[in-house]
Structure 1
Amino acid sequence: MCRWLAYRGGALHPSLLVLDPAHSLVRQSLNSPLGAETVNGDGFGLGWYPIGGDAVGTPALFHSIEPAWHDENLREISRAIHSRLFFAHVRAAAGPPIQQTNCHPFRHGHWLFMHNGRIGGWRHVRRELMLRVDPEFFPLIRGTTDSEVLFHLALTFGLAQDPVAAMRRAVEFIEETGRAHGVAEPFQGTIAVSDGERIWAFRHSSLGTSRTLYVSADLTALREQYPDAERLHAFDPTARVIVSEPLNDLPGAFVEMPESTVGILGPDGYRDEPFLRAAA
């Protein structure tokens, strides 16, 4: 349905991941062999935390309804920005219209959020899910996607205090609501959330058939394994990227994240842990 990537590490130009690799995110927007749709041309977005001082500030956003492969502004911006943490997303619309307010990532304060997947039976459960959003957050919903409602449900359930617990409660509520309406697969998708210091990446579906998600391998180990791969030296040793599809075909460079897992990428490195059980 969509493709995305989330980067954390030494400051670099997003173009090094969004544009330059053999199977970059922009190339995935035109040809996505592991995606539910081959083409993801219904807009894109870039969200990044600007460098300046020690404190994490409000992330910046750039959204466009142009196909990513066609937009010259994306090329200019991604080569000019420097960031230690950024999100990028290419969209394949599955019902909600093509408009800027429906482009990911979404932002609230210093939080970024993006999603690939769907809430099953959306037209049947939409009202009930939206009414569960806290009145503090409800007026902030600007678009018409299920993904934005998911984000605001997570905010309602305490994303700022405990991102994993909040996302678990949000997905459980979606699954409970969907099943009450007879929806066979209430939730499907991969999610990325960040507070500017850490990235939480979730892979889960109600039936255990989640969209693909990969994390890059430790860069120091990759450099030892491929000493002649000059491209690896463009990145800081702490650099890691979480992606819908591998950005190249270098064996071992990307490892698939297990089903119903949350991957946590922060100053102390990367780890993953169980998230939710799929329905039996």
Structure 2
Amino acid sequence: MCRWLAYSGEALTPSTLVLETQHSLVAQSLNSPLGKETVNGDGFGLGWYPERDVPGSAPALFRSIEPAWYDENLREIAQSIESPLFFAHVRAAAGPPIQQTNCHPFRHENWMFMHNGALRQFDLMRRDMLLEVDPALFSSIRGTTDSEALFYLALTYGLKVDPIAAMARAIREVERIGAALSVPNPVQGTFAVSNGMTIWAFRYSTAHASRTLFHSEDMETLQATYPDLDRLRIFDAGARVIVSEPLSDLPGAFIEVPESTVSVLDRDGYRQEAFLRAA
């Protein structure tokens, strides 16, 4: 459906990962070996926090319906800014129209959200899902995607207080709606959420056969394993990414996130725990 990456660490120029790695996100937009679709050319988005650990700091967004490999403005921006926490996403539209408001990541106040996958038969479930959204939040929904609807459902259920619990409740609500409407296996995907200080990344599907997701190995371990690899010296000890698929072929650099897992990435490092393992 799509490809995405989320970075956390010392301030970094996004082009380092989005453009310059062996299998960069822009390269994946043209050729994604592990994606459901090989080409992800229906728009892209870059969302970044100018500062980290500043509660309430809102991210900046640059989104476009152009293919990522074609857009010169993406290159200009990705090479010019620095950020300690950023999201990047390339889209393969699954049904909702190709328009800027349907490009990921989505933003509400200081929160960002992006998704790879789909809510099956969203056109059938959409009305019931949107009726669950808090009326105070409803007018903030700008696009028509299943991803944005799920984001606002999670916000309704307390994303700002407990992201893991809120995502679990939102997904279970979609599954309840899907069951009531005879939609088989309604939830599929990997999801990323951030408040500018922490990244939560979820790999989950109702069928327990989710899209791929990986996290990078600890940077100090990689630098010790490959002391002569100059490229690794760019990154500080706390630098990590969570990605739809590996950005390089370097052995040991990327580790697959297990099915039905939430990954948490913050100043203390990376950890993961079971997420909705029991249906």
Shorter-chain TM-score above 0.5:
yes
| Distance (whole Å) between structure 2 residues aligned to residue 53 and residue 118 of structure 1 | 31
SS of the residue corresponding to residue 236 of structure 1 reads coil
Residue in 2 that maps onto 1:111: 111
1:192 aligns with 2:202: no
2:18 paired with 1:18: yes
The percent of aligned pairs where both chains have the same amino acid is: 66
1:42 alignment partner, SS class: coil
**What one-letter code is carried by the residue in structure 2 that aligns with 1:149?**
A
**How large is the Cα RMSD of the aligned pairs?**
1.1
Shift of 1:55: 4.8
**Contact kept in structure 2, 1:204 and 1:278, CA below 8 Å:** no
Letter in 2 for 1:49: Y
Aligned counterparts, 1:47-126, within 5 A: 47-51=47-51, 54-55=54-55, 57-126=57-126
**Counterpart position of 2:36:** 36
2:173 partner letter: F
Say how many residue pairs are matched.
279
Q: Taking structure 1 as reference, are residues 230 and 172 closer, same or farther at Cα in structure 2, changes over 3 Å only?
A: same
Q: Take 2:107 and 2:58, find their aligned partners in 1: how far apart are those partners?
A: 9
Q: CA deviation at 1:179?
A: 1.2
Query: Residues 72-221 of structure 1: matches in 2 within 5 Å?
Result: 72-221=72-221
Partner residue in 2 for 1:242: 242
Equivalent pair of 1:205/1:278 in contact (CA under 8 Å) = no
User: Residues 117 and 189 of structure 2 are in contact (CA less than 8 Å); yes or no, is this contact kept in structure 1?
Assistant: yes
**Structure 1 residue identity aligned to 2:46:** L
Instruction: For residue 51 of structure 1, report the CA deviation from its aligned partner.
Output: 3.1
For the Cα contact (< 8 Å) 1:15–1:78, is it kept in 2? yes
Question: 1:186 is aligned with what amino acid?
Answer: P
Deviations 1:159-218 (A, max 9, x none): 000000000000000011101111111100000000000000000000111000000000
The whole-number CA distance in structure 2 between the counterparts of 1:252 and 1:59 is 32
Structure 1 residues 52 and 266: CA distance shift in structure 2, 3 A: closer
- The TM-score with structure 1 as length reference comes to 0.98
Q: CA deviation at 1:53?
A: 9.0
Structure 2 CA distance for aligned equivalents of residues 146 and 10 of structure 1? 33
- Does the residue aligned with 1:245 lie in a helix, a strand or coil? coil
* Structure 2 CA distance for aligned equivalents of residues 205 and 51 of structure 1: 33
Deviation at residue 229 of structure 1 after TM alignment: 1.1
Q: Distance in 1 between matches of 2:78 and 2:53?
A: 21
SS of the residue corresponding to residue 136 of structure 2 reads coil
User: Post-superposition shift, 1:52?
Assistant: 8.2
Q: When the two structures are superposed, what TM-score results if normalisation uses the length of structure 2?
A: 0.98
Structure 2, unmatched stretches of 5+, are none
Q: Is the partner of 2:135 in helix, strand or coil? A: coil
What is the CA distance between 1:254 and its match in structure 2?
Answer: 0.3
- Following the alignment from structure 1 to structure 2, what is the Cα–Cα distance between the partners of residues 167 and 249? 32
CA distance in 2, matches of 1:211, 1:23: 18
Displacement of 1:277: 2.2
Quote the Cα distance in structure 2 between the aligned partners of 1:230 and 1:278.
44
1:271 shift after superposition? 0.3
Which ranges in structure 1 are unaligned for 5 or more consecutive residues? none
Kept in 2, the 8 Å contact 1:206–1:278? The answer is no
Q: Secondary structure at the match of 2:118?
A: strand
Contact 2:49–2:57, Cα closer than 8 Å, also in 1: yes
What is the distance in 1 between the residues matched to 2:90 and 2:278?
27
Contact 2:43 2:68 in 1 (8 A): yes
